[in-house]
Structure 1
Amino acid sequence: MTKQDPQTMPRSAVTEKIELGLAKRHRRENIFRAFGLTAVIFGFILVFFLLFDITSKALPAFHQHWVKVDVNYSEKSLRYAAGDNLADLSYRNTLRKSIYETFPEVKARRDKRQLNGLFSSNAEFAIKEHLIANPDHLGTTQPVWVRVDDDVDVYLKEVEKLGEPLVRIDQKEAQWIKTLVDNGAIEKRFNIEFFTSSDSREPELAGVRGALTGTFLTMIVTLVLSFPLGVAAAVYLEEFAPKNRWTDMIEVNINNLAAVPSIIFGLLGLAVIINLFGMPRSAPLVGGIVLTLMTLPTIIIASRASIKAVPPSIREAAMGLGASRVQTTFSHVLPMAMPGILTGTIIGMAQALGETAPLLMIGMVAFIVDVPSSFTDASTVMPVQIFLWADSPERGFLAKTSAAILVLLGFLFLMNASAAYLRRRFESK
């Protein structure tokens, strides 16, 4: 059967065939549009459930229970003699006596040990700081608020009916907790120490200040090194480098480096930066250098693409007015390419912010209690801190892990918002 020429077909048949073709094409477009919309909605739903799950698990970490102890600062229990330094007294013995006075019915040694376990290991330091701050309280009995143990804190957060044993709290301990609650000796407060304290073996004492400071210092080193080096390399390769075999090889290697696993950069930092040059382990300076090596290919590739996207007419107009090649590049091409360069920098810095593997190789997985004050102090970063807490068997670290993830996301949001603000300013200029 031969195909009929549309010009010889009746007009109604031609119109019908065109309408059928259009209907088929529109149907395909609608299906494609529906698939695209479904993918976007599905992605948003997944992100929403992820954030909802993290937030719901993180909320308990932002409040903490404290218990009031009537501490008897008697000179006998403190073993105080005239002229003694208040910081050197026996506060552990004083705390225990005060706890036993609260529960005089507890006589057995094992029960007393369990009773002491309801209070945080930091309690003796809390009553010590109270007396040092108020030396006139010596020889008196004063109410002092101290943290409860992490198991007690989890129990109070998760149990609706007091007296019902949960996790590592038995029936006897639950009854003691109920007594404290009925007496108004337990109070729930906002956990400001989560933001002002560093890491600790005890969940009720652990905070993110040290890791957050280490992350900030590491990101400063990464930005200071990667941004100028990456932009300079992109400008040279795109504007000044001759097109020959050597530059082609450099371009291929840059593209390959962008696909190298991040742990390889950690091995490079361990072998060269630490072992060869003798730089300190676990330092933000070393971590920033390692992350710079990992981030450079991303910034270079994005910067080259942005520079290449500048219209050639800009270069021709500038050079036609007498500008040199360097003046044209830095006065016209680079400012116009800066929004795209900042976009690539945002992507690279966000990737560096979430990296863990290369930092583990240079020792930033160490348990660091002190807050770093310089680029060479031992420190850790937020992703490594999250990794350590997630691997801990203590149940109190579960909420701390989710809360640290929210803090990391907030840090990423602020960093990206600052970069986006700078990008819009360059776009408006």
Structure 2
Amino acid sequence: MTEEFHRIRRLPPYVFAEVNKAKAAARSRGEDIIDLGMGNPDSPTPPHIVQKLVETVSDPRSHRYSVSRGIPGLRKALAGYYARRWDVGLDPETEIVATLGSKEGLANLSAAITSPGDTILVPNPSYPIHQFGFIIAGASVRSVPAKPDDDMLRALERAVRHSVPKPTALIVNFPSNPTAYLADLDFYKELVAFARREEIWILSDLAYAEIYFGDLVPPSILQVPGAKDVAVEFTSMSKTYSMAGWRMGFAAGNPRLINALTRIKSYLDYGAFTPIQVASVAALNGPQDCVDQVRALYKERRDVLIRGLAVAGWDVPSPGGSMFAWAAIPDKFAHLGSVEFSKLLLQEAGVAVAPGLGFGEHGEGFVRIGLVENTQRLRQATRNIKAFLTSHDGVIDPRGVGAMRHDVHLEKAG
């Protein structure tokens, strides 16, 4: 009875826990912490969506069990969204299932299609559920490069030749979390051709489909002819409509994979609360100017953050999509590693970021910075970071990070 449960033993210590603990301690001392660590949208859900929720929840009949795979109107609304957005036809009965956010869908599909010992291909770094959903299900994960280019494609080919057993599934996520990489349709065409040739499933996470800032509009992998033979795609209401806490997402594509996920879910849940599903229909079928506004908001925040960091002396690439910047740790702090650097930044600049190590070993040396505060707070964050960077002229001794206290003037919120 003293041994750790088998599946829990397969999960490493939660990398973000140390930073979260330090963040909580700082706030308990009354310190002003600018939290850019979690990808938690701070904008309110558009009023017409909230109004539909309130209207529906007033009907006592909506308080009963709902439909696990999603009410028919919701699945039809998602099919309409795919038709408008990507000119992709989907059968609401066989090619769509509603999920409790894309994270739940990914985890449950992992459980549905995985046998113990299976090999799964996952970009590294990537969002934790992409690998740990399969690890919890008993699979072994083989890392591949995260950038959608020839190196990734060559790594996939090597993985097929040298993995035992042969890989059964591949995860992709563009715009990606945490790296903000974007893929174009030509890349997806090569990916689908590879998967069809090698008989490998593709699970595409498209949670950031509507958050892009340049000429490359994120495509759907389902636009590729033949993609539905091998692929299923996950989308979410969380970022597009600022509905993160509502927990509403979808899986769409290959009927066999959709059926597997539907069957697993039928044993595990009764679906999202019916008023949430009805309000999600209103979001998908209603006016879409709110989506444009969210995109413009994140673009403005991105520009403020990247400019401010440049002035602070921290050169960070400007992301073309997602709600994150993926930043290499400044050279003089690189030896600390992402966890200790994140703790130091929190301690001395009052800014919380996510250590790259939490997204896989190849995320070490980076931090993820979320565009989840208003522009005033982002400007304050970059001023604090500038003061922090200026105060350190030499290399930092990692043994002293936990006890350091520097007399750095940090501008507080007015």
Q: TM-score, normalised by structure 2?
A: 0.22
Higher Cα Rg, which structure: 1
> By percentage of residues, which structure has more strand?
2
Q: TM-score, normalised by structure 1?
A: 0.21
> By percentage of residues, which structure has more helix?
1
